[in-house]
Chain A
Amino acid sequence: DQQVKQNSPSLSVQEGRISILNCDYTNSMFDYFLWYKKYPAEGPTFLISISSIKDKNEDGRFTVFLNKSAKHLSLHIVPSQPGDSAVYFCAAEAYGNKLVFGAGTILRVKS
């Protein structure tokens, strides 16, 4: 049972445009959500997070939106840069438990 789903295996975007990565979850007990970025042959690195008491969190070019009623979150990257090309994992946690990860979305930013 996949509790965290990233339904788009890949996304291709032109440099300078917006990248939107989506994530859906099924467990209503999740209260903390994170995005990780992963380059080949490296471990995932933390990008941005949001708690369930917020609906938006920004950090530079990265913004995460949370829609609790729809059990949906998204990551917006504006403007997209070639160095953003990587695999992006969505993850969620219920307090006191472990992170559950989605399958990942491969982002390719074309210059």
Chain B
Amino acid sequence: NAGVTQTPKFRILKIGQSMTLQCTQDMNHNYMYWYRQDPGMGLKLIYYSVGAGITDKGEVPNGYNVSRSTTEDFPLRLELAAPSQTSVYFCASRPGTGNGYTFGSGTRLTVV
């Protein structure tokens, strides 16, 4: 059981570079989420999706983009990386509302 898989685990980016954080789940969950966690802070929602082809903004979407072409995959794109995007990024999924999330192990991103 792979659950939610995130790649890469670590990445250092230079200011202005772009990258895609990958997230895939094998549980056939409809709902997928991207959160970021800053030191001493809770998890802030970046984007979420309730099914293939449907995405919506969360609390902190600026500087990010997502797509959901399949049920399994929910990549997060960073364009023009900034130091403020240094954080740990978590992808999560769940079958529907009223259920807990299953989280991936996270991607630690540093922008220098």
Which of A14-22, A63-71, A72-80, A97-105 lies at the interface? A97-105
Task: Give the A interface residue count (CB, 8 A).
Answer: 26
Tell whether, in the assembled complex, residue A41 and residue B105 are in contact, meaning their CB atoms are under 8 Å apart: yes
> Which residue of the partner chain, among A9, A42, A95, A102, contacts B105 with CB atoms under 8 Å?
A42
Indicate whether A107 reaches chain B with its CB closer than 8 angstroms.
no
Q: Which residues of B contact A104 (CB under 8 A)?
A: 42
How far, in angstroms, from A97 to B48 measured CA to CA in the complex?
10
Interface of A toward B, CB cutoff 8 Å = 4, 6, 9, 32, 34, 36, 41-46, 49, 51, 89, 93, 95-104
Task: Contacts A43-B105, A101-B43 known; list 8 others, CB within 8 Å.
Answer: A41-B105, A45-B103, A46-B102, A93-B98, A98-B45, A99-B45, A100-B45, A102-B42
